[in-house]
Amino acid sequence: MNPPPALSGKSLGVIAPALRDVRAVVLDTDGVIIDSAKVHAAAWKTAFDAFLRDHPPEDPDQRRPFDTGDDYLRYVDGKSRLDGAAAFLASRGLDLPAETVRDVAADKERLFTERLREEGIDAYPGTVRLLRALRRDAMPLAAASASRHARELLTRAGVLGLFDALVDGGEAARLGLPGKPRPDLFLEAARRLGVPADRTAVVEDALAGVEAGRRGGFALVIGVDRTAGPDTPDGLLRHGAHIVVRDLGELIAGGAPT
């Protein structure tokens, strides 16, 4: 493995101290780089609510609609479609054959694709500012995602060119990488950057993702709280984040991580 590149120092003065000791950064895609989490959540809600109406659980308390806040973060955020569908349906006491779970996941995929074409996608401005500052200092950057749409989403948002490497859901399937909270996706991204995990930062908004970062032995795990909920920062910290920010622009001088 080649040694991490020496940083030039041209932009380190505008980067928060937390990032100055790492030599590469791996970022999750949905909810960290691009504002697609709400599109994913809406597609999951439509798919799950339709399934629950047609196949109501025996326990009336389990028949409540999918919640795009708590249920999304707890069961599907950061996971592959199949893992997310299986986790949520199991949480409602439904013991379903694999084929049925795949059908629900496929319905979500169709709905997400339709919404994406109708609504488009944007990158978070604070994330773009941070990425540009890091690139000015030659910091190796990778995007990682369980989604097979990651390359398309990053391209549509106009930020694909800011990254030196991308490991998406298609690559993960090809390589047989297990999903989060296993760290394999992030470890593969760091490997492609040529920087060991213990010199690399991981940026994630999902509970499963920060847990993956901590399990992988990464030098710094940054949690991003996009929900601004009262319990979200504590949840991210409990699952493995070293620090939590609401926007990655806080990691540019003048903002302070919590």
111, 213: one domain? no
Nearest to residue 29, comparing CAs of 184, 141, 187?
Answer: 141
Is residue 222 included in any domain, yes or no? yes
User: Which amino acid is it at 189?
Assistant: A
3-state helix/strand/coil string of 194-208? CCCHHHEEEEECCHH
Is residue 142 included in any domain, yes or no? yes
- Return the CA Rg of the chain: 18
Which residues are identified as catalytic?
28, 30
Tokens linked to 126? 């604070």
pTM: 0.78
Tokens linked to 76? 């599907």
Distances 148 to 62, 109, 112, 223 between C-alpha atoms, Å: 30, 10, 12, 23
17, 68: one domain? no
Task: Measure the CA–CA gap between 158 and 199, rounded to whole angstroms.
Answer: 28
163, 244: one domain? yes
pLDDT in tens, the chain (258 residues): 333 443 434 444 467 788 888 999 999 998 899 988 788 889 999 999 999 999 999 999 999 999 998 899 889 987 889 999 999 999 999 999 999 999 999 999 999 988 888 877 899 999 999 999 999 989 999 999 988 889 988 998 999 999 999 999 999 999 999 999 999 999 999 999 999 999 999 999 999 999 999 999 999 999 999 887 778 899 999 999 999 999 999 998 655 444
Give the CATH number, domain containing residue 29: 3.40.50.1000
Is residue 43 included in any domain, yes or no? yes
Task: Measure the CA–CA gap between 116 and 42, rounded to whole angstroms.
Answer: 11
Q: State the DSSP string of 108-161.
A: HHHHHHHHHHHH---B-HHHHHHHHHHHHTT--EEEE-S-TTHHHHHHHTT-GG
Task: Report the domain count for the chain.
Answer: 2
Q: What's the number of CA atoms in the CB half-sphere (13 Å) around residue 249?
A: 8
